[in-house]
Copies of this chain bind each other. A is one copy, B any other.
Amino acid sequence: MEAPPYSSEGAEYPDSMLSRKFGREVVNYFSGSPLNRVSFLRSNTSFLRAALPASRFLLLRGLDPLASSKTNLGWVKYDSVSSLIGKPYDLDEEKTIEAFDSRVSAPTLIFLGLDEKATDSTFEYSGAGGNYKGQPFFALDVSPKEGELKEKLEKVAEEAVKEPGYEFRKVRIDLSLVPGDAAILAHARSLMDWNSRNQFCAACGGRTISVHAGTKRTCPPFDKAFQKSPNDASFERPPCVSRKGVHNIAFPRTDPTVIMAILNAAGTHLLLGRQRRWPPNFYSTLAGFCEPAESLEEAVRRETWEESGVRVGRVVIHSTQPWPYPNNLMIGAVGEALPDGEKIELNHDPELQDAQWFPIEKVKAALEAPQNGLHDAPPEGYKEGDLRLPPATAIAHQLMLAVANGFHLPSSEVAATAAKI
C-alpha cells in the first residue's frame, strides 16, 4: 500500500538523517505550496507596484474560487482586473494608513507569493537585499457588493467565466484540485475569509484597513470621513489599545486543531469514532480544537478523554495539514492509551455517537479498499457493513496509514509490517 502522490513530496529529500530515523515527511493535501511567500516583501510597495502588472490573479466570489477545470484553478491577468483594483500601492503603507477614509471601498487584494519554478514568467525584482524572480500571484475578492464598486465587481466576474470551461467553483470542501492548486486555494481562501470577518477592530469597534498586501488589518488613527474641511487636521479616531504594544489582533488567525490516531497500550487496536450525521459505518480518528495555553500533547489527551473517556500517555506529532474551512491547522498525532485507561465512555462530551477500538488489521483492510468522502456515496464495490474511512486527502487517513505501516514500532518490525501491506 503506497502513499498517494500528494503525500510523497518528501521524496525530494531522500536518504537524509532525519528521514532514515523518522521516515519520509508526509506532505498532506492543502500543503506543499509551489509559492515562495517572500513575506518580507509584502510591505514593500515598490516591489508590489512592480509585481502587479506581471501577476496572475485568483478571483474569489463569496470564497468560491475561479477554476478552469475540475482539477485546476483558473487565473486572470492584470488587464482583466486593473480597472477594479486601481493603484493600491502608489502610496507607501504609512501614507495609506494616514489617508484612510471609511467611506471609500476597495476590493480585498492579497499577495500570495512568487512561483520561482514558473517557466513562462520573466518577472524579476532587485532591491530589499536580494534579487527575487518568479511568477507573482495575487488573490482578489469579486464578491457582489452594493456601492461604488458594484458594477466593476460584476463585470470582472462575468468576463472571467466567458473563458471556456471557467466557472466559480461551489464546492463545500474542495478536495479535487491538483496538489499545488489545492495549497494555493487554501492560502487564498483562509486569508480572504479572515479579511472579510475582520472589517472592524475587535479592541475598539472601529473600521480596519488592509495593509501588508492583504495579510494584516490595522486600526487607523485617522478617518477622513470625520474631516470637517480640507484643512481640518483633527479627524482623529478614539485611542485604541491595538495601536501599541505586543498584540495579535491585527494579524490573520490560524486555529490549531489536533487530530489523533490513538493506539491501545498493546499496539494492536486503533481508537476511531463517528458523529451522528455521518453515513453508516463511517469512522475516523478523533479531533478537536487546541485551547489557549495548552500544549498540543495536552490537547490530544484532553480531547481524547472528553470525547471517548480514553486516557492517553505519550503523544508524538506525525504531520500537519492546513484546513481552510475557515482557518484551521490540523496537527496530526499518534498517541497511546494508558494501560488502565482504555475504557470507552461517551458520556462526558456528547460529540460522538460511537467510538470503538478497531483491530489494526481491520483498519488496514479498509485503507486498502477504495474510499470516498463523507458527503459522497460509498465507493464502487463497497459491501454493506464494511468499515468506511476518509480518503487519502484527509490527514486522518494518513495517520491511520502511518500506524498501519508501523509508525509506532521499532525499525526492525516496521520493515516486516510494511512488506505485508
Q: Which residues of A contact B (CB under 8 A)?
A: 10, 12-13, 16-22, 24-25, 27-28, 30-33, 36-40, 128-130, 183, 186-187, 189-191, 194, 196-207, 215, 241-242, 246-249, 251-256, 263, 265, 267, 289-298, 302, 306, 313-317, 319-322, 324-327, 329, 331, 334-336, 338, 345, 347-350, 408-411
The answer to whether A186 and B293 touch across the interface, beta carbons within 8 angstroms, is: yes
CA distance A294 to B254 in the complex (A): 9
The answer to whether B17 and A292 touch across the interface, beta carbons within 8 angstroms, is: no
Q: Out of B21, B203, B302, which one reaches A37, CB within 8 Å?
A: B302
Q: Out of B27, B190, B197, which one reaches A292, CB within 8 Å?
A: B190
The answer to whether A18 and B334 touch across the interface, beta carbons within 8 angstroms, is: yes
CA distance A317 to B318 in the complex (A): 7
CA distance A39 to B349 in the complex (A): 8
From known contacts A18-B316, A293-B322, A316-B18, infer whether A203 and B207 are also in contact, taking CB-CB under 8 Å.
no
Sample of 14 A–B contacts (CB below 8 Å): A10-B314, A17-B336, A30-B293, A31-B297, A33-B293, A40-B306, A40-B349, A130-B347, A197-B248, A205-B207, A248-B255, A253-B255, A292-B322, A295-B320
CA distance A251 to B242 in the complex (A): 18
The closest CB in chain B to the CB of A189 belongs to B293
| Cβ distance A132 to chain B, nearest Cβ, rounded Å | 9
Number of copies: 2
| Cβ distance A201 to chain B, nearest Cβ, rounded Å | 7
CA distance A411 to B89 in the complex (A): 55
CA distance A255 to B329 in the complex (A): 11
Residue of A17, A256, A302, A326 ringed by the most chain B CB atoms within 10 A? A17
| Cβ distance A380 to chain B, nearest Cβ, rounded Å | 31
Q: Out of B183, B291, B326, which one reaches A247, CB within 8 Å?
A: B326
The answer to whether A24 and B347 touch across the interface, beta carbons within 8 angstroms, is: no
The answer to whether A40 and B251 touch across the interface, beta carbons within 8 angstroms, is: no
CA distance A28 to B316 in the complex (A): 14
The closest CB in chain B to the CB of A263 belongs to B17
The answer to whether B329 and A129 touch across the interface, beta carbons within 8 angstroms, is: no
